[in-house]
Amino acid sequence: MALLDNNAQASLIRTCRYFHHLLEIYLYRHINPARPLSQSRNDYLFRTLAEREDLLPYIITYHGQVLPCAPYQGQSFLDRFRAFTKSKPENFEALPINETETFRRAVTIFTKAVNIIDLQLLHCSEWESEPLFDPIKNAVAKMSLRRLTVSYCSHLPQILRDQPELEELQIGYGYCPLEQLEETDAPKLRSLSAELLEAADLVPGRPIKQLNLDTPFGLPGFDRRLFERLSLSTGPVIEFSCWIGHPQDGEAVRSSIRAIARNLPSVEKLTLGVGGIIAGEPILDEIPSLLSIRALTFLRARLATAEERAIATDPPPSNHLVPTNRTITDWDDLFSCLKDRCPLLVTTTLE
C-alpha cells in the first residue's frame, strides 16, 4: 500500500472505511504545502493536521514555510501572515500573532510532529528573532533530522548543533553566517549544497562525499583560497557539481578543471554546469587529470563550432598533458575521446 502514489491512495481511501483507516496515515507522511496560489488548500491542510493530532507522529517529511503565508513584495513576513490568515476578526491587526488561529495550528503541528527527519524551512529569517516562535524553534531542535534545507537562516549554527545525526544539508538563497560553527557540529554530514563561502566553513573536518557548489568558477565571489579548503573533507568528496562562470574562455575552463583535480582528486562523478557555448579542446585536455573520474555530465552546454572556436582566445595548456591538435565540435566524438583517455570513465551525459 505504501508504494502507491498519493492519487491512488486517495482514490482507495474513498472506497470504504477499511482502506480509509489503512491508508490515511500514508497520505500525511510527506507534507509539501502548495504554492501561494493555492492558499485555500494550504489552510485546509494545516487545519486538518491541527485537528487530527493523531496523524502528526506519522509525518517524516515537511517541505514548506513555517506558516502558510504567500510572499508579497514590500511586506514583512508577519504582514503576509496576517493578510492570509482565514476568518480574521475585524480587529485582527490588533491581535498578537500568537493569538491567531494559524499560529496556534503551526505550534501544534511542529511540537507534535516529532518524527520529522526531512525538513525544509522557507522564509524563516524573521521567526528566528521573534520570541513568540520559540516553541517551534524548540520543537525543531528536538527533531532527529537526516536532511535539512534552509534559506536566509542566521540561526543555522545552533540548528546544526542540535542535529548530530544530520547527513544532508542544502543552503538555498541568502547567506547563512557560520562564524559560530564548531568543529563538533553536524559530525555525520555527508552531502552539502551551498555557496563557496558557506562550504569553506562546513566541509573541513566533516565526511562530505557529495558536494554541490552554487558559486560559479571565475565569478567575483569565487575565492581560490576558500576553494582549497574543500580538500579538507574527511569523506573524501567523490561527487561534485559546479558551474563554470565563463565557459567561452578556454583558459578559464582549463583553470577550473585543474582546480577540481588538484583539490578534489577523488572525484568519481563530476557535473559541470555551462549555460552556453564551450570549446571541446580544454575539456579533452584537462578532464583526464581527474584520475578517478567515472561519470561526467554537462548541463545546458553547446560545443563551440569551428568558427566560434577560431575567434576564441585559448592559449595552449601549461600542464603536463599533451594537448589535442584538432577541433572538437561533436559531443559523441568528444565523449569517445575522453573514454579513450580516462580508463575508468563509463558514463557521459549531456543534459
Per-residue pLDDT, 112: 94
Long-range CB contacts (< 8 A, 24+ apart) of 44-48?
46/102, 46/105, 46/106, 46/109, 47/105
pLDDT single digits (tens) 186-237: 999 999 999 999 999 999 999 999 999 999 999 987 999 999 999 999 999 9
Per-residue pLDDT, 161: 94
pLDDT one digit per residue (tens) for the chain, 351 residues: 555 666 666 666 666 665 655 667 888 889 987 655 466 777 788 888 989 999 999 999 999 877 655 444 444 545 555 554 444 444 434 445 555 777 788 889 999 999 999 999 876 665 666 677 888 889 999 999 999 999 878 788 989 999 999 999 999 877 778 888 999 999 999 999 999 999 999 999 999 999 999 999 999 879 999 999 999 999 999 999 999 999 999 999 999 999 999 999 999 999 999 999 999 999 999 999 999 999 999 999 999 987 777 665 455 554 444 455 566 879 999 999 999 999 999 999 999
Cα–Cα distance between 92 and 308 in angstroms, integer? 63
Nearest to 339 by CA among 295, 274, 275, 280: 295
Contact between 186 and 164 under an 8 Å Cβ cutoff? The reply is yes
Cα–Cα distance between 161 and 254 in angstroms, integer? 39
Cα–Cα distance between 105 and 43 in angstroms, integer? 10
Distances, alpha carbon 246 to alpha carbons 68, 238, 278, in Å: 40, 24, 9
pTM: 0.84
Phi, psi of 282 (to 5 degrees): -60, -35
Q: What is the DSSP string of 8-65?
A: HHHHHHTT-HHHHHHHHHHHTSEE-PPPGGGHHHHHHHHHHHHH-GGGGGG--EEEEE
Contact between 233 and 261 under an 8 Å Cβ cutoff? The reply is no
Query: CB neighbours of 269 closer than 8 A, spacing ≥ 6?
Result: 238, 239, 240, 294, 295, 296, 297
Cα–Cα distance between 258 and 282 in angstroms, integer? 10
Residue indicated by cell numbers 584520475: 291
Find the distance separating the first CA and the last CA of the chain, reported in whole Å. Answer: 34
Contact between 215 and 197 under an 8 Å Cβ cutoff? The reply is yes
Query: CB neighbours of 13 closer than 8 A, spacing ≥ 6?
Result: 19, 20, 23, 24, 27
Per-residue pLDDT, 307: 79
Cα–Cα distance between 300 and 285 in angstroms, integer? 21
Sheet holding 239-243, edge to edge: 30-31, 61-65, 118-122, 147-150, 168-171, 191-194, 210-213, 239-243, 269-278, 295-303, 347-350
pLDDT single digits (tens) 79-130: 555 554 444 444 434 445 555 777 788 889 999 999 999 999 876 665 666 6
